[in-house]
Amino acid sequence: MYGRRCEGKQKGLRNAAKIVGFVLFLLVVGTVAYVVAKQISSKYQAPSSYPSQAPTLKPLPPQVQAYAWMREDSSNDPGKKTPQAQALEWFLEDPYFETYSDVRIRQRLSMATFYFATGEWRQHTGWANWTLHECGWFSKKATGACDDMDQMIHLALSDNDLEGTIPPELFWLTNLQTVNLFGNRIDGVIPSEFGLLTDLTSIDLSGNSFTGVIPGSLSQLESLTELYLESNQLTGHIPAWLGSMSLEYLRLKGNKFRGIIPDAVCPIQSFSIDCTAEIFGCDC
Ligand SMILES: *[C@@H]1O[C@H](CO)[C@@H](O)[C@H](O)[C@H]1NC(C)=O
């Protein structure tokens, strides 16, 4: 009786051992399978940076963080890049952009924005070309566009099929001494930012399609001796402050000015204006 019970107990223990052994076997096999599977899957897994959703804009390198706003699409036509966005994109594609100083980054972005904003130029050799220093980009100034510090001092692009409006970024070129955009198809108002370029001695915007008035900010240009605004669509009165500047040349023919020519303007050495039914005063 006792023996049988004992035998039954031993049989039960053997069965229990078998079950435990089997469970352990399953655990070992499972663990090994899990580890192997994990290694294989990690070997073939896509890199963790792989975009899982729609691509977003890449973070900007530190050199151009300050210009992040340039790539915002502020145009009314989504899908059409702004000249600012085009310029920043162009700049970042340059394999050597990290070698430029902050001053040159600003100069190159300014000039590239101006270039992308003003249509298909007749002559544009070098403009927005990475491999060329921006001082070597096409200019009609025989002596070159820059001073010996490599800062742009002459914007000389007359008769060159420029069209559209002047972007505000052009006025980052604060060393400009002469601006000659004679004979293009530039429209919009004459930007008041011209008043920021206090080294200017000569502005020639003749033969374009500028509208609006002569901006009051020009009165701040103490070195300006030449102001050519002939053959545009300018309106309003002739401001008397033009006579308080250092102007030697003031050419205003071919516009839509009206009113009295201020006495202060009359002594300007080379002053010209059309005498129409709407204009009164000296020279008319
Ligand atoms: C950029 O300038 C280099 C050097 O003058 C010239 O070889 C190259 O063709 C120009 N690239 C473009 C796109 O005009």
- Residue 42 is inside which H or E element, if any? helix 2-44
The 10s digit of each residue's pLDDT in 239-282 is 999 999 999 999 999 999 999 999 999 999 999 999 999 999 99
Residue among 132, 122, 90 nearest 109 (CA): 90
Ligand 1 center to 126 CA (angstroms): 7
DSSP code at position 274:
-
Q: Which CATH superfamily is domain 103-280 in?
A: Ribonuclease Inhibitor (3.80.10.10)
Residue among 173, 174, 219 nearest 192 (CA): 219
Ligand 1 center to 129 CA (angstroms): 6
Record the pTM.
0.79
The 10s digit of each residue's pLDDT in 162-193 is 999 999 999 999 999 999 999 999 999 999 99
Atom of ligand 1 nearest to the CA of 125: 14
Output the average pLDDT for the chain.
Answer: 88
User: For the range 73-81, what are the long-range contacts, defined as Cβ-Cβ under 8 Å and sequence gap of 24 or more?
Assistant: none
Q: How far apart are CA 205 and CA 180, in angstroms?
A: 6
Of all residues in the chain, the percent with pLDDT exceeding 70 is: 79
Domain extent listing, the chain: 1-42, 103-280
Ligand 1 center to 166 CA (angstroms): 26
The 10s digit of each residue's pLDDT in 106-135 is 999 999 999 999 999 999 999 999 999 999
Q: How far apart are CA 48 and CA 37, in angstroms?
A: 19
Between the CA of residue 207 and those of 70, 101, 158, 226, 233, what are the distances in Å? 30, 36, 10, 15, 10
Kindly list the protein residues whose Cβ atom lies closer than 6 A to any atom of ligand 1: 129, 131-132
